[in-house]
Structure formats: structure tokens, C-alpha cells
Amino acid sequence: MSHRIFNFSAGPAMLPTEVLEKSAAALLDYKGKGFGIAECSHRGKEFDGVVDEAIARAKQLVGLGDTHDVLFLQGGATQLFTLIPMNYDGNGADYLVGGEWSKKAVSFGKEAGKTNVVASSETSNFDHSPKPNEWKMTEGADYFHVCSNETVHGHRLAVWPTHPNLIVDASSEFLSRPHPVSQCAMVYGGAQKNLGPAGVVLVYVRKDLHARQKKVMSKLWSFKDQAENKSMINTPPTFGIYILLETFRWLEAQGGLAALEKRNTAKAGLLYAAIDNSNGFYKGTVSVKDQRSHMNVTYRLPSEELTEEFIKTAAKNGMVALKGYRTVGGIRASIYNAMPVEGAQALANFMKDYASKKS
Ligand code: PMP
């Protein structure tokens, strides 16, 4: 294996080495057949086996029975949150807006449906997610959409809300801890953070939603039709789905989502301790402590100059992609499932050392 460093990219992001090695081998020669998994028909038995196993494992990881369908779609999470109102919004839907991505879900969603923002924290620069007692819910809304981890602003819903038709954009924390998918109408996420390469969106959709499906212009955009066709109305991103399957196997081998949650909590704890123990040198950007993300740790240094230098020096020390989102600035360290504890420890040590030299 070639030299790999600690890559804190927010996505596309670091993937487990083992997943990459196994996928690379399958790309060249799938099970000794003399062709790779990206070189065979999506209608053939090899790929059919991949999809069936991927669906079964995706369900098993979150403890689902037969209540939900699993889809592997294209178009990114952005297309997904555009399709949701096209499919299900007849009377209007509720949206919680806590950051960049839930705001975008509304801006794309309102093209196709009636979106009601139950609460927004934009006036405080999305430094937290509005608390449940501030939500102005609509009686009879078709669904309630939330983003469970705001990738840009670095906070999460530590406990997902309950609602008869909860829809969750879990893109940046997907399968990083146990999720109550069985209690949700839909949970979806782009693969490029925790699951695999960009180009695949993993979706869990509760089957009773199919009956509520509105007529859409093409069946390509209908969740019901996609479910009936095992996400293969047309050619799916076969190699991307294969990598997801390898990730699902890897997650199981790690001890499942509860084990991952433990490791991810420890990793996040190392970085938040480095912030909290820096005598104010580092300032976390999230104002509500129990909302701090375990996936995207966001903080600022005392000046732009120090921020630039911090990023450059970290890169020289084998830690890359720490620059915050373009509209927010500061530092963002993304520590998805594939980031080892050693990576978080190395960054925490570097932070401590840097602060002591500069303060
Ligand atoms: N939702 C969240 C929480 C995200 O982090 C992102 C991408 N960073 C998206 C949606 C949009 O994903 P895509 O670029 O795949 O459309």
C-alpha cells in the first residue's frame, strides 16, 4: 500500500484502507473471473449478487426488517432533497433549518413543494440548531425534514426528533452511530463522507410512503419505481455501489455501529478537549456544547494569518484538508469513520503544541 496520510477532508473523504484495497482488487479481477466488477452488466448475476448483499447489509447494520426499502441512487444528496417534495409534498412540509445544508434543502425543495421553516438559526450564523421548544410545527404537514449533522457548521442533532413522517439528511454522519431508521419515513445521504465515493446516495425509505407517491415527470425520479426496480431503472453506478458493499462489510467487522459510535466519540473528545483546554486560543464555532458534531469539528484561531499558518504547518506534518468551508472560514477537521483514533490524536497533539508556541 502506498503512503497514506491523515486526510481531514469533509468529502469526498478518507475511506478505510481495507475497503480501498478490496475494492481495487475487485476492480481488476472479480472473484477470479478475469474481469473486474466495473466491467460486467448490471443485469448479470455478479452485480445482482452485489446489490442483494448490499441491501441486506445496509438493513442489518441499522437493525431494519422488511418495513423499508434500500435504494442506491444518483444525483447526490442535492438531487435527493429536490426529489423529496416532488414525491411526497401535497399539503406542504416542515423543515428545520440549522445550517448550510438544511437551508439548501429548503431552497431546492421549494421549487417542487410548499416548504414551511419551523425554525432557523441563521440570524446567529448557524452556530447551533434551534431547540425543539422553538419549532413551529404545522398540523398535517406531509413530512418533517431535518439534517442530522450540519457538515459546514459543525453541529448535530444528538438525538433525532420523533415525528410520524421524519425525513433525515444524514449525509455527513451516515452509519457513524446507531440510527433509529425504523422510526423514520426516510433517511438518506451522499456516500462521499462515510460510505464510499461520490456518485451514490444511500436511501432508506419506509414502504408505506409508496402509496403516497405523487405523479412525477419521469419514473427515474420516483422512489416507488426505483424501489420496484432495485434502483436499476437504468445503469446504476456499479463500482460505487460495490465500494459501499465493502464498507458495509468493514463496518460489520469493526463490531457494527455501536462500536463505531464509541470510537467516533473518543476521536471527537480528543479534539474538543484540545479546543477547551487551549485557554481560548482555539474557539469552537458551535454555541451549544451538546450539539457539537462528532464528525466535523469546527473552530477558529485568533487571526487569519495564524489560521493559514496552522493549515500549512499541519500539512507538513501529514495532516491535510483542514481549511473550513469557503463561506465560514476557520478550521474544519472532518473525522469520519475511516479516520483512525491515531489521526485525531495526532491533530490534538499538534493543536496543543501549536497553541503553546503561539500564545
Ligand atoms: N447534505 C449534507 C449534510 C452535505 O454535507 C452535503 C454535501 N456536503 C449535501 C447534502 C449535498 O451533497 P451532494 O454534493 O452529494 O449533492
Q: Given this model, what pLDDT does residue 2 score? A: 64
Taking only Cα atoms into account, the Rg of the chain, rounded to an integer number of angstroms, comes to 21
Q: Residue for cell digits 434543502?
A: 105
Residue 188 to residue 197: CA distance in whole angstroms:
15
Measured in residues, the chain has a length of 359
What single DSSP character describes residue 161? Answer: -
Residues designated catalytic:
101, 169, 193
Distance 190 CA to ligand 1 centre (A): 6
pLDDT tens for the 359 residues of the chain, in order: 568 999 999 999 999 999 999 999 999 999 999 999 999 999 999 999 999 999 999 999 999 999 999 999 999 999 999 999 999 989 999 999 999 999 999 999 998 899 999 999 999 999 999 999 999 999 999 999 999 999 999 999 999 999 999 999 999 999 999 999 999 999 999 999 999 999 999 999 999 999 999 989 999 999 999 999 999 999 999 999 999 999 999 999 999 999 999 999 999 999 999 999 999 999 999 999 999 999 999 999 999 999 999 999 999 999 999 999 988 899 999 999 999 999 999 999 999 999 999 98
Domain with CATH 3.90.1150.10 in the chain: 256-358
Query: In terms of C-beta distances under 8 Å and separation of at least 24 residues, what long-range contacts does 47-55 make, across chains too?
Result: 47/238, 50/238, 50/241, 50/242, 50/245, 51/230, 51/231, 51/232, 51/236, 51/241, 53/245, 54/241, 54/244, 54/245, 54/248, 55/230
Could you tell which of 72, 73, 74, 78 is best to mutate to test the pocket of ligand 1, judged by most ligand atoms within 8 Å of the CB?
A: 78
Kindly give the number of the ligand 1 atom that is closest to the alpha carbon of 79: 16
| Domain 256-358, CATH homologous superfamily name and number | Aspartate Aminotransferase, domain 1 (3.90.1150.10)
Residue 221 to residue 211: CA distance in whole angstroms:
15
Q: Residue for cell digits 452511530?
A: 177
Helix ranges restricted to H, the chain: 17-28, 45-61, 76-88, 100-109, 223-228, 238-253, 256-276, 304-316, 341-358
Q: Given this model, what pLDDT does residue 1 score? A: 52
Q: How many CA atoms lie within 13 A of 288 on its CB side?
A: 18
Which residues on neighbouring strands pair with residue 7, listed in sequence order?
320
Domain with CATH 3.40.640.10 in the chain: 17-253
Q: Given this model, what pLDDT does residue 298 score? A: 98
Distance 358 CA to ligand 1 centre (A): 35
* pTM recorded for the entire structure: 0.98
Instruction: Answer yes or no: are the C-beta atoms of 74 and 89 closer than 8 Å.
Output: no
Q: Is the CB of 172 under 6 A from ligand 1?
A: yes
Distance 149 CA to ligand 1 centre (A): 11
Residue nearest to atom 14 of ligand 1 (CA): 76
Q: Would you identify the CATH topology of the domain 17-253?
A: Aspartate Aminotransferase; domain 2 (3.40.640)
Q: Given this model, what pLDDT does residue 353 score? A: 98
Kindly give the number of the ligand 1 atom that is closest to the alpha carbon of 147: 3
Q: Which helix (H) or strand (E) is 189 found in, with range? A: strand 186-190
Burial environment of residue 326 by CB neighbours within 10 A (0 to 12, 13 to 18, 19 or more): exposed
Kindly give the number of the ligand 1 atom that is closest to the alpha carbon of 78: 16
Q: Is the CB of 190 under 6 A from ligand 1?
A: yes
Q: Is the CB of 84 under 6 A from ligand 1?
A: no
